[in-house]
């Protein structure tokens, strides 16, 4: 199960360990968490790089940048 706590209005859940990745001997599998973090970090870097390249390609293609669409009155 889990318990809920409140810190500055934010609700957090603390799990009792049932969802923890463990080795067959019962110890926590830190390597699995490192691998998850590595995959998430790689995906985030790839997504941000793709967004930057898309923005740069749009500039060279003559497409207006989203922030440049606004006209001053």
**Residue pLDDT, tens place only, 9-65:** 544 455 555 688 999 999 999 999 999 999 999 999 999 999 999 888 888 887 665
Q: Collapsing DSSP states into helix, strand and coil, what is residue 4? A: strand
What residue spans define the domains of the chain? 2-66
Report whether 27 contacts 36 (CB < 8 A): no
pTM of the model: 0.54
Q: Print burial letters for 45-56: b (CB count within 10 Å at least 16), e (below 16).
A: eeeeeeeeeeee
Distance CA 21, CA 34 (A): 11
């Amino acid at each position: 199960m889990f318990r809920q706590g409140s810190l500055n209005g934010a609700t957090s859940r603390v799990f009792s360990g049932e969802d923890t990745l463990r080795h067959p001997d019962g110890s926590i599998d830190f390597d699995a968490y490192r691998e998850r973090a590595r995959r998430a970090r790689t995906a985030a870097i790839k997504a941000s790089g793709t967004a930057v390249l898309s923005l740069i390609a749009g500039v060279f293609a003559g497409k207006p940048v989203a922030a440049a669409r606004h006209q001053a009155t």
